[in-house]
Amino acid sequence: MTRRELFGVPLAAAVAGLTTSFAGAQEADSYPLTSLTALFANPEKFDGKRVRVIGCLGGLATPEGVQLALFLTRDCQVNTVVTNAVVMEGEYKKFEPASGNYVIFNATFRARPGHPTFTGIQNLKPWGRDTTLAS
């Protein structure tokens, strides 16, 4: 059974409802593509800057509920390796259909001590093999 059959909705269709349009003058893909490892290694260098990132979307259980996070790899997401994740501000339920899949998006990186965060998430789209679901 494929994921498509299991969940009944192709990822692209689910993410299509999540994708936001970029209203600014800057093109959606013109932000610098930045690896999560670069953000982890030099958080102060990227603090407050807009970046374009790729990672595996997932949730983190917290006392306040489930928080959205971008993980370095799918293995990190499945095993909840929090040291390889950046929390994403936003409602988890809004992005839940894309959970467990690789995505690409634009965001502002906040280098909060012990709790790095992405804010202002825009243009969330499926990435890699997951993009084949768009057809």
Residue 65: CATH number of its domain: 2.40.50.140
85 inside domain: yes
Instruction: Measure the CA–CA gap between 79 and 25, rounded to whole angstroms.
Output: 39
User: pLDDT per residue over 10-56, tens digit each?
Assistant: 433 333 333 333 334 345 567 889 999 999 999 999 999 999 999 99
Assigned domain for 38 exists = yes
Q: Average pLDDT, stretch 107-132?
A: 85
- Helix, strand, or coil (residue 59): strand
Structure pTM?
0.74
pLDDT at 135: 32
Q: Where do the H-state alpha helices sit in 24-128? A: 36-41, 43-46, 74-78, 92-95
**CA of 114: how far to CAs of 82, 85, 88, 104, in Å?**
10, 11, 14, 23
Mean per-residue pLDDT, 87-114: 87
Which pLDDT does position 9 carry in this prediction? Answer: 37
Total domains in the chain come to: 1
- Position 21 in a domain: no
pLDDT tens digits for 49-87?
A: 999 999 999 988 877 788 899 999 999 999 999 999 999
